Chains A and B, each alone.
Chain A
């Protein structure tokens, strides 16, 4: 044991270990310091500040304690509020997902209306307006090649090429 350990053990109170006793018997410096520190301890004990609870403090404490006990813990409110927010968000998402597309869309192919419908239903089984519009567009495409091309090919002299 070094000097500090001996002094710390000696100041701790209770029965003094034999090693501490032996060290103190042999070390005058430690004995001297221990005596000074014990004297300081005594003076410290007598220098404690007074403190008494001010009038009315007990009543305030009891009232506050009982009020807090009656009030539900704040953390439960916070948890409930968070749960309600999450639930509301989920319900809003579900409602948005299952809202039918605005109909009818005019046969003339109202693309602005269709884009709006796509927002509600990206896979538009119900977007009949577009399908009708696409059919109409398809019928407008001529099935036969342009006659000008056929006429032009008709004038080719294939014999020159095979020649």
Chain B
């Protein structure tokens, strides 16, 4: 860990406003995207983002920097998401598919409509993966984490993360029926 990062962590422990703002601006959006993909509900994701950041702050005394701050935050977020999914399943809740739309481009309306339809299908397929596979796929393709970071975040061996990713992609390919193999 760099000296600059150590200073930042100390400032976070001291509750300095600038340090807290940096934590929020650096990690809230990536965590929000990840959690939206995991729990399929933007409002729930918002609550979980805040909870993840606060949990990170409360665990700073025990954080020894073995994993990066990013991996550690994703680990906290993953646990929150899995707990939420388990309790939602327990309550038999069903969430509406309300994933926010992706980036805006400049294609024609027809192309946009086709792309949106494809995107919707892919997200739906991702959402139907088992939670661990879903987490690995999202962390790899949407969040662009390395397999090492994914392994740290999900507390699994790096080889397991790679194998999980392969099986998740294979499942997605099956559920999408090969229509996206252009």
**A: which residues have CB within 8 A of B?**
4, 7-9, 11-13, 33, 36-37, 39-41, 43-54, 57-58, 60-62, 64-66, 68-70
| Contact of A50 with B100 at beta-carbon distance under 8 Å, contacts A36-B173, A43-B122, A58-B24 already known | yes
List A contacts of B181 (CB < 8 A).
Answer: 36, 39-40
Shortest CB–CB separation between residue A44 and chain B, in angstroms? Answer: 4
Instruction: Report the number of A-B residue pairs with Cβ-Cβ less than 8 Å.
Output: 128
Q: Which residues of A contact B144 (CB under 8 A)?
A: 45
B20 at the interface (CB under 8 A from A): yes
CB pair A40–B176 under 8 Å, yes or no, is yes
A-B complex: 10 closest residue pairs judged by Cβ atoms: A51-B32, A8-B166, A48-B142, A69-B15, A44-B141, A49-B99, A47-B122, A47-B119, A51-B33, A12-B162
Within the complex, what minimum Cβ distance (angstroms) separates A49 from chain B? 4
Main secondary structure of the interface of A (DSSP, over half): helix
B169 touches A41 (CB 8 A): yes
Q: For A13, what are the chain B residues with a Cβ–Cβ distance below 8 Å?
A: 147
Would you list 30 pairs from A and B whose C-beta atoms are within 8 A, ordered by A residue? A7-B166, A8-B162, A11-B169, A36-B181, A37-B169, A40-B172, A40-B180, A45-B141, A47-B118, A47-B122, A48-B102, A49-B101, A49-B102, A49-B123, A50-B103, A51-B33, A52-B29, A52-B32, A53-B28, A53-B32, A54-B46, A57-B50, A58-B28, A61-B20, A61-B24, A66-B15, A68-B54, A68-B58, A69-B15, A70-B15
B interface vs A, CB < 8 Å?
15, 17, 20-21, 24-25, 28-29, 32-33, 36-37, 42, 45-46, 49-50, 53-54, 57-58, 99-103, 118-119, 122-123, 126, 137, 141-142, 144, 147, 162-163, 165-167, 169-170, 172-173, 176, 178, 180-182
**B166 and A46 contact, CB distance less than 8 A:** no
